[in-house]
Chain A
Amino acid sequence: MKRIAAAATAVLALVAGCGGGETAGAGPIMGPSDAPVTLRVLAGSELLDLEPVLTQAGEATDVRIQLEPIGTLDGAEAVASGAAETDHDAIWFSSNRYLALQPGAQARLGTAIDIMSSPVVLGLRRPVAERLGWVGRPVTWAEIAAAAGARQFTYGMTDPSASNSGFSAVVAVATALVGAGSALTLEQAESTVPALRDFFAAQTLAAGSSGFLQEAFVRRATGADPGTPVDGLINYESVLQGMNAAGTLPEPLELIRPADGVVTGEYPFTVLAAASPEARDAHRRLAEYLRTPDVQREIAERTHRQPAVPGVVPTPSGTAVELPFPAQADVVEALLTSYFDKLRRPSRTIYVLDTSGSMAGDERIGALQRSLAGLAGADPSLTGQFRRFRGREQVTLLPFNTTPESPQTFTVAEENPAPDRQRIADAGAALLPGGDTAIYDSLQAAFRIAEQQSAADPDRFTSIVLMTDGENTSGADIAAFRAFVGSRPAVPVFCVLFGESSVEEMEEVARLTGGRTFDARTAPLAEVFKEIRGYV
């Protein structure tokens, strides 16, 4: 459960009013079964928008709910392995569909109660939608793919191995473009029809979580981040409507709901089979409350999701077609593998790795070597399988100490990628600690490498991962880097906080470049390296 604890960047505890059992004399006397209960829930991060509703629910039902955000796939893995039930009572993701495919997972689930729903759709900046002629008429995924293939627009989407919105989009697009009238077969999932490559070629922004994706989109749109604004986002309809309602965008997003079909998240609030009778009862009370018409209406108003209870708000138009979702684990795995290794725009990642003297020891250089080996294929877990180095990916290792060392670049083969992955692991295993810490000289070197590589092969996601365990002790300082980066094409830098690295400086580097920081001081370094893979 360490990983889950680490992934919980924000634990939200919604506390009901003062405990009913302690207020004698006033109000009804409550027996032990009605005492306030805390329900510990592993949940999708986008549920944090329900906070006010859940606070009221806590007051009304005496059930406090503690949401611990985690990615869909990580959550599914934790439930299927039984790890989740050691310290959680319930789960609440946008969908249990992925989870249901995991062997043995079904028996670990108790009652599932749908609370609300939202389809995954495309939101486009209005002028772009107008230019493409997509306003006020039905548009199909095939048309969208054709325009994407001709680079007529760009979009952002979450990593489908980390987040359900990206995952649903891959399913919808593949099902529609393969032309399947029923759930995808294994052969269809493995196929790479040209239209699918076209569709994913226009993706210029990726993220391991929908929160970061939204923020990055808004920051680019408003000019707060370097880099060209992205034209659109694939996300839940509710998230896109929420962005429009927040008024933070310079121009509203036009919502394109593809006529050939969508995949919808239905938010089943699900108690775990191993939960105590008290937790089971609390889950039922809370779910009943959340499904009362007033609360359903409030959820619809606040979160833009469609209520699960019929008749609370007008039924949406009958023509939004729901695409079938594959129900076989091998089909889903083939679809994800094909997305990462064949369909997705290939990525280029430059790993700037601290090998200074302070990195000596198994818990530092050893952990770094194991992290690289994990990404190279040694990690057998489900998430490890999807986040290892991908077919067609370009990986550069740039070790540094007193000065940047010479970079080693690997391009992973599309067919038979294992030998290339092994070469990366071997290069990691050869790293030796010693010397000072020239962070900014090395980062600048990484930017120059990125420019050369981009000039030779422009059509890739390009990002830099910086891992250092200490402060800058050699060469250029942060001020010099600030000046340097202002005049350069944007490359996001994802910084790993490790050992004694300067949090302030790392956060500034991330901010200056449109990247973000990841904390490896409280979580295993290998897990953090894996998490970053959702962003590069």
Chain B
Amino acid sequence: MTAPAGRRSGRRVLSWLLALALLGVIGFVVLRDVGGQEPEPPELTVVTGVIGSEKDAFFADQRVRDAFRAHGLELKIDPAGSRQIATTTRLDGYDFAFPSSSPSADKLLAQRPAARTYAPFSSPMAVATFAPIVELLTQAGVVAPGSTTFDVRRYLELAAAGTRWDQLPGNTSFPARKDVLLSTTAPCQSNSAAMYLGIASYVANADGVVTDQTVATQVTPSVQPLFRDQGYLPPTTEVLFEDYLSAGMGRVPMALVYEAQYLAEALSPDPVLPADARLLYPSPTIFSRHTLVPLTPAGDRVGELLTTDPQLATLAAQHGFRPTDPRAFAAAFRDRGLPEPPALVDVVEPPSFDTLEGMLSLLGCTP
């Protein structure tokens, strides 16, 4: 910040001229030497996207970057909460938005009509926890002995009674004076919490998807404490999952995450899952269908590649997502010598965006 602006820009022009001249010479030499034998690397188009944070690691993977580069695309990614993407994020300047659920994508589509959307992979909601907690939950009847099924109805009963961990019978492994509560993200901002709202409201509604505002108004008060009693909640699922991984049981005894986040760690060449980490499946659960909404032709190209390129499907599976083609998912586990995660049968649909918004506004979220 010392050189006067005039001199500075003069020098810069000179730099650029010199650089261009140098590039010209190099280009001439390269072309003369290899003339025609190798195709020129395609010029990279920079494509920017805003995505649900749980896909951040996938897009940051060098192999994924390379796969897109091979198609001439250089991706720049901002992670954000999915509802934030659908409601508050300024989308000007982005080529695509890639929230984690179809309701959020529907909302985006209403504002930004696109010819088509892409749902290249999905992931069920799951509970990341620890072996001692699984044991306590088994004793409390939330988990059937030896299974990975997390009984949502039984859990909601415990939570509604304000049960604390230190009140669970025979608890010596985690005697915290803290309510038994599944950690979630902030429902006003993040999709995974909204999916949890979908699950909890389904159970509270006598096993029925909430489809209208009248039912939403009846059901929401009983699920509100699940969020309110947790206090401040992390804005994204990525932050929540990182807290689970890096802070241990005391901070996050059990967290509602995307199955993919946990599986990605299990499949990683250097997994950082704690030795006593465990994954449970809520019953019922909801699949989040990661849905890409193109905002420009370049963004559309990203969606198309994610859907059609087999290598990207393989990489998605290695990041724990369930691609539309189940073989890629099975192969990822076979290759690592790990058992394939269960096929889930107790799966329910999320409420529509408008119903979900209705419930969220009852929880105090503003659009």
Contacts and interface: CB of A to CB of B under 8 A. Distances in A.
Contact of B78 (A184, A284, A325): A284
A183 B228 contact: yes
Interface string B156-182: 000000101000000000101111010
Contacts, number: 136
Given A25-B19, A183-B229, A316 B248 contact: yes
B159 to A, nearest CB: 10
A431 to B, nearest CB: 45
B116 interface: no
Contacts of B178: 181-182, 261, 321, 323-324
Interface residues of B, number: 51
Given A309-B242, A311-B245, A182 B250 contact: no
A293 to B, nearest CB: 10
Interface stretch (A237-245, A273-281, A336-344, A454-462): A273-281
Given A316-B247, A319-B249, A24 B76 contact: no
B173 to A, nearest CB: 9
Contact of B247 (A29, A111, A309, A322): A322
Contacts of A182: 162, 178-179, 181, 225, 228-231
A310 B130 contact: no
A302 B251 CA distance: 24
Nearest to B90: A273
Describe A's contact surface by its main secondary structure.
Answer: loop
A317 interface: yes
Contacts of B15: 21-24
A: contact size bracket: 35 or more
B11 to A, nearest CB: 6
A316 B249 CA distance: 10
B88 interface: yes
A117 to B, nearest CB: 7
B298 interface: no
Contacts of B174: 319
A10 interface: no
B362 interface: no
A454 B22 CA distance: 80
A21 B12 contact: yes
Given A318-B250, A327-B231, 11 more contacts: A22-B11, A22-B15, A24-B19, A29-B16, A306-B247, A315-B245, A318-B249, A321-B176, A323-B178, A326-B231, A328-B228
Interface of B: 8, 11-12, 14-16, 18-19, 22-23, 60, 76, 78-80, 88, 90, 93, 130, 162, 164, 174, 176-179, 181, 188-189, 225, 228-233, 235, 239, 242-243, 245-252, 270, 272, 274
7 contacts: A25-B22, A306-B246, A311-B246, A317-B250, A318-B274, A321-B250, A322-B250
Interface of A: 21-25, 29, 97, 100, 106-107, 110-114, 117, 176, 179, 181-184, 260-261, 264, 266, 273, 277, 280-281, 284, 288, 306-311, 315-328
